[in-house]
Amino acid sequence: MKQIIALLLVLLGIYKNSFSGSPPRFTCKNFLLNAYLYVFLSFILISLIVDIYRKNKVPSLMEIYKKAGLLFVATFLISLGLLITVMAWSPNNLIQKHLLWVTWIATMGYFLLGLAKKSPKVFEQAKVITFGIMLSLTLLTFVFPNKIKLTWGATLVTLLLGLIIVQLVGLLYPFSSQSHYYIAYFSLLLFSFFMLYDTKKLMVKAKNCVKADYINDSLGIFLNGLNIFVDIFRLRG
């Protein structure tokens, strides 16, 4: 019930603030407020979707992976394809873009379903810790904006590519439990810096906004939060 109330409040906020004109288009007015409303909406939706999957006893990827390994790859490719499509879709086509976005969030919820089933208690704890980390990093960026540099981008992307390569190697040659913890700590630190970086990008765009696209603008923060959540779960699970 609390999630439904939060969903309705966020939807009301988006309806009141995020659009203007006829036909409606995203407006640059209240840019930061609208961007974070979409971030909140993303997390509320994915949480509700995971709950719906659990209540309807949908089998997770972890449960069927042994029976159909290709399904994991297929689901990942579908999710990646949807994400690319969402980002490329024009914000002028609001209805289609929102439908594609919600569909992509539903696929991401399916990836998280296995964690929710594996340890419901840790899953809920990780939500709270993730929110605390994201809030702290966001406040840090707003309080010390000059300390966060957009020049960090190339370094962060390079480190991310290195992390992806290490994780791919881990799929072929499984690491020890201790190595998994080190990787999770590194990933948590990396996406914390991405959080600072993407928050600074939003602040800059808020000042120079010409054409808003709150779905795309919120994706960086949302993906950072998801990765931080997964890392917290792995460290506590």
Q: What is the pLDDT of residues 147-192, one digit of tens each?
A: 999 999 999 999 999 998 988 787 677 778 788 889 999 999 999 9
Are 140 and 164 in contact by the 8 Å Cβ rule? The answer is no
Q: Which band of pLDDT confidence, cut at 50, 70 and 90, is reported for residue 59?
A: confident
Average pLDDT of every residue of the chain? 91
Quick one: average pLDDT of 32-58?
95
**Is the pLDDT reported for residue 66 higher than 70?**
no
**Is the pLDDT reported for residue 25 higher than 60?**
yes
The answer to which of 31-45, 46-60, 217-231 has the lowest mean pLDDT is 46-60
Give the predicted TM-score (pTM) of the model: 0.93
State how far the Cα of 66 lies from the Cα of 82, in Å rounded to an integer. Answer: 25
Rounded (10°) CA dihedral 96, 44, 78, 212: 40
Q: Which band of pLDDT confidence, cut at 50, 70 and 90, is reported for residue 7?
A: very high
Quick one: average pLDDT of 2-6?
89
Long-range CB contacts for residues 202-211, cutoff 8 Å, separation at least 24: 202/31, 202/32, 202/35, 203/32, 203/141, 203/142, 203/145, 204/150, 205/31, 206/31, 206/32, 206/35, 209/28, 209/31, 210/28, 211/26, 211/28, 211/91
The answer to which of 45-49, 163-167, 194-198, 224-228 has the lowest mean pLDDT is 163-167
Predicted confidence at residue 175, as pLDDT, reads 75
Distances (CA, A) of 214 to 65, 87, 133, 157, 171: 35, 11, 22, 22, 35
Are 148 and 197 in contact by the 8 Å Cβ rule? The answer is yes
User: Percent of the chain having pLDDT more than 70?
Assistant: 94
Predicted confidence at residue 171, as pLDDT, reads 67
**Is the pLDDT reported for residue 202 higher than 90?**
yes
Quick one: average pLDDT of 103-122?
93
Pairing assessment for the beta strands 19-20 and 25-26 based on DSSP bridges: antiparallel
Query: Bridge-partner residues for 26, per DSSP?
Result: 19
**Is the pLDDT reported for residue 74 higher than 70?**
yes
DSSP character string of 48-62: HHHHHHHHTTPPPHH
Predicted confidence at residue 176, as pLDDT, reads 80
Quick one: average pLDDT of 185-203?
96
Query: What radius of gyration, in Å, describes the C-alpha atoms of the chain?
Result: 18
Residue 98's domain comprises 2-236
Quick one: average pLDDT of 201-221?
94
Number of structural domains the chain divides into: 1
